[in-house]
């Protein structure tokens, strides 16, 4: 599944009251590098940008979400590798960001 289609689908699932799970590589802006270990977040819902959130790069590069505990989270879109949706019994999709 293309990354763009998956994130659009995540927004649609959230709007209908569903959730999604995703696995991504966390990126440290302080270190300027991504982690080598995937982080898995379950029960996620998309969210809008908060007024206090300001970045040095285009905000379209980030994917904003709340985890199952309701904590505000964000990650670089292109570092998301896997996603599943609650309305499909959490069937796992590998995300493709660039054509090879």
pLDDT band at residue 29, thresholds of 50, 70 and 90? confident
- Distance separating alpha carbons of residues 39 and 1, to the nearest angstrom: 20
Domain limits, the chain? 3-94
Three-state DSSP state, 25: coil
Instruction: Give residue 6's pLDDT band: very low, low, confident or very high (50, 70, 90).
Output: very high
Altogether, the residues listed in the chain come to a count of: 100
| pLDDT tens per residue across span 32-56 | 888 889 999 999 999 987 656 665 5
Provide the pLDDT confidence category of residue 58 given band limits of 50, 70 and 90.
low
Number of H helices, E strands in the chain: 1, 8
Question: What pLDDT is attached to residue 57?
Answer: 60
The count of other CB atoms within 10 Å of the CB of residue 31 is 8
pTM to 2 decimal places? 0.84
CA 92: distance to chain centroid?
14
């Amino acid at each position: 599944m293309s990354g763009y289609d998956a994130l659009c689908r995540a927004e649609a699932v959230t709007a209908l009251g569903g959730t999604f799970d995703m696995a991504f590589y966390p990126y440290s802006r302080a270190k300027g590098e991504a982690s080598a270990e995937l982080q898995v977040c379950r029960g996620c819902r998309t969210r809008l940008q908060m007024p206090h959130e300001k970045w040095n790069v285009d905000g379209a590069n980030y994917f904003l979400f709340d985890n199952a505990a309701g904590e505000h989270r964000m990650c670089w879109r292109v570092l998301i590798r896997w996603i599943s949706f609650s309305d499909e019994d959490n069937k796992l999709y590998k995300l493709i960001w660039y054509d090879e």
